A = this chain, B = another copy of it.
Amino acid sequence: MLVVMSQSAGQENIDNVIQTIKQAGLVPHCIPGSIRTAIGVTGNTGAIDTERFSTLPDVIQIIRVTAPYKLVSRETKPDNTLVKVGNTVFGDKQIQIIAGPCSVESREQMKKLSGRLQKAGVKILRGGVFKPRTSPYDFQGLGEKGLEILAEVRESTGMHFVTEVVDTEKLPLVARYADMLQIGARNMHHYSLLRAVGKTGKSILLKRGISATLEEFLMAAEYIMLEGNYNIVLCERGVRTFAQHTRFTLDISIIPTIKKLSHLPIIVDPSHPAGIRNKVIPLSLGAIGAGADGLIVEVHPDPEKALSDGSQSLYPKQFEQLMKKLHIIAPALDRNM
Contact = CB atoms under 8 A, between A and B. Distances in A.
Q: Which of A43, A168, A186 gathers the greatest number of chain B CB atoms within 10 Å?
A: A186
A32 B27 CA distance: 10
B222 A35 contact: no
B190 A137 contact: no
Contact of A289 (B214, B289, B305): B289
A282 B290 contact: yes
A291 B287 contact: no
Contacts of A222: 135-136
Nearest to A132: B191
A8 B75 contact: yes
Interface stretch (A120-128, A151-159, A327-335): A327-335
B51 A40 contact: no
Interface stretch (A85-93, A172-180, A269-277): A269-277
Contacts of A311: 51, 54-55
B137 A47 contact: yes
4 A-B pairs closest in CB distance:
A289-B289, A286-B290, A211-B211, A285-B289
Interface of A: 2, 4, 6-8, 29, 31-36, 38, 40, 42-47, 49, 51-52, 54-56, 61, 63, 65-66, 68, 75, 132-138, 166-169, 186-187, 189-193, 210-211, 213-216, 219, 222-223, 226, 239-246, 249-257, 260, 273-274, 276-279, 282-283, 285-291, 303-311, 325, 328-329, 332-333
